[in-house]
Amino acid sequence: MGIQLTILGCHSASPRTNAYPTAQYLKINERHILIDCGEGTQVLLRQQKVPFAKIKHIFISHLHGDHFFGLVGLISTFGLLDRRTELHVYGPKGIKEVITLQLKLSKSWTAFPLLFHELNSNESTLIFEDKKISVTTIPLNHRVYTNGFLFEEKTAQRKLNMSAIGPEPEIEICDYHNLKNGKDFVKQDGTILKNEELTLPPQDPKSYAFCSDTSYKPDIVPIIEGVHLLYHESTFLEDKKNLTERTKHSTAKEAGKIAKLANVKQLILGHYSSRYSDITAFQKEAQTEFDNVELAESGKVFVV
């Protein structure tokens, strides 16, 4: 169990030398996920030595180019690599049309199942769930329909306490499954061995909230309350706050306010405007509201 987040790109608008648009690679509880896919994402994935075949799910926050223009190229490369496993793409309504049109006109149809899950709800919605994790949308406020995503581990099974199990010869390997699932053990003489005496509690499940392009939106706080890791866009500093209403972006200070209100464990800032040459100013500004602030940078890895 645990989270490993690799920042691939974290700047706003168009790609520049050493400044790539948004993309992130998330490993959470043995699941491999791509979040957004700006231009150059597949090159950045290769730089980080990410095995393409392990990516089964891609989540796209919105249909602005700096968040999805790399997607059709990545899908095409998957085809060239003779991929056969399913690929699930979650994104706003319209993403299927724009991607399939490009594949059609370039005669680049995939040999693997390409499954689109289009989103249009303005309410927080569970969009993916399996035995390991769940993914829920975080409705945001941007110039086009936009979601963030909350990734949560499922509570794991209890751990066997072998020092307690060892002295009990009646407990066999075939009983371990029940013990991990929290059941007591009944001995042949009717004695009940309590589960908490035979097992140890699992680690607390970890969580990651990705808040893509959005204006200041405090009503997302109940959705992301207490997450271990929060990425929140910070396109501007307070000196350009006058631009946030028109562009529907946030300042670093506002990102810090959200982190404080939600009582998160750690805040990561990103999506910096190109008008700023020193991104350390973003960290300093956010820290006026919230202490534990880190800056996203291409290639930087965060582990929980």
H/E run at residue 280 = helix 280-286
Q: Measured in whole angstroms, how far is the alpha carbon of residue 41 from the centre of its chain?
A: 16
**Signed CA dihedral, 96, 101, 104, 109: sign only:** negative
Identified catalytic residue from 36, 66, 184, 239: 66
219 is catalytic: no
Contact 226, 150 (CB under 8 A): no
6 DSSP β-pair partners: 25, 301
Residue 195: closest CA among 221, 159, 146 = 159
Q: Which amino acid makes up residue 279?
A: I
Among residues 257, 242, 261, which one has the least CA distance to residue 288? 257
Q: Alpha carbon of 98 to those of 83, 108, 120, 220, 253: distances in Å?
A: 21, 14, 16, 29, 35
DSSP 8-state assignment for residue 65 = H
3-state secondary structure of 61: coil
Characterize the bridge pairing of strands 147-153 and 133-139: antiparallel
Whether 20 and 10 have beta carbons less than 8 Å apart is answered as yes
Catalytic positions, written as ranges: 66
